[in-house]
């Protein structure tokens, strides 16, 4: 089955700096790659997603890139703010089934 | 958009008891999913429905677990003879059924603690 690896597991950045989280996947048939933000005790919330026919997508301070050949995708958050502190999960989807990475705990240092 | 609704939000049960969780998806969504999340881990896929048909089940879903979606609307997840290892958050999610790569929206989850 699909295997998704995510790095780093923890990340601390100064407020205003950028944060980058990277994921790799194993199944070349995966075609949908969402990113979720999860605050303590709450549900995963979709923040951005990308489909396999697109290489990059941006939404304000958040961007995602996808390299299908290398089977990796990355989340970029610019101008980080304290409210960006949370756990971020990447996921890869094949046949409507999401396989999640192990998460990155992002801490924004004021 | 009222979102995906789950209840109960929290359940504490003694080992060996049965528990049932309910999920009400977003009203126009035909696909419904159950995931399980333990502390420090990402959600793990359990099962998935297209309308009332259960199309896929993970091997994580032992025979103590059963999920139903009888009329293609709400779904229930029942765990029989609970074990301490069942303690987790059970997440329901839904998506529309237009092709592949649909956005999946999660509910707030149902926390299960087995004591």
Output the furthest CA–CA distance in chain B (Å, rounded).
42
SS3 for B67? strand
* Helix (H), strand (E) at residue A14: strand A10-14
How far apart are the C-alpha atoms of A44 and A38, rounded to whole Å? Answer: 5
Q: Do A42 and B42 touch (CB under 8 A)?
A: no
State whether residue B98 sits within 8 Å of chain A by CB: no
pLDDT in tens, A91-104: 999 878 899 999 99
**Count of CB pairs separated by less than 8 Å, A with B:** 57
Between CA B15 and CA B22, with CA B17 as vertex, the angle to 5 degrees is 120
pLDDT in tens, B43-77: 999 999 999 999 989 988 889 999 999 988 999 99
Query: Distance (Å) from the C-alpha of residue A77 to the closest C-alpha of chain B?
Result: 20
pLDDT in tens, A5-53: 999 999 999 999 999 999 999 999 999 999 999 999 899 999 999 988 8
């Amino acid at each position: 089955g699909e295997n998704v690896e995510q790095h780093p597991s923890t990340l601390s950045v100064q407020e205003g700096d950028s944060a980058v989280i990277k994921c790799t996947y194993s199944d070349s048939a995966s075609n949908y790659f969402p990113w979720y933000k999860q605050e303590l005790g709450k549900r995963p919330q979709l923040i951005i997603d990308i489909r396999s026919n697109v290489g990059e997508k941006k939404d304000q301070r958040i961007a995602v890139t996808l390299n299908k050949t290398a089977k990796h995708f990355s989340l970029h958050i610019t101008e980080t703010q304290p409210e960006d502190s949370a756990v971020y999960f990447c996921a890869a989807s094949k046949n409507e089934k999401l396989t999640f990475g192990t998460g990155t705990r992002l801490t924004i240092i004021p | 958009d009222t979102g995906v609704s789950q209840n109960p939000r929290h359940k504490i049960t003694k080992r060996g008891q049965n528990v049932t969780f309910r999920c009400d998806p977003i009203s126009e969504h035909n696909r419904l999913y159950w995931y399980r999340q333990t502390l420090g881990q990402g959600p793990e896929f359990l099962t998935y429905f297209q309308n009332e048909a259960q199309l896929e089940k993970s091997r994580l879903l032992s025979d103590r677990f059963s999920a139903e979606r009888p009329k293609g609307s709400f779904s229930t997840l029942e765990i029989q003879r609970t074990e301490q290892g069942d303690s987790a958050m059970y997440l329901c999610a839904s998506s529309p059924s237009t092709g592949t790569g649909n956005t999946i929206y999660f509910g707030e989850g149902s926390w299960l603690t087995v004591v």
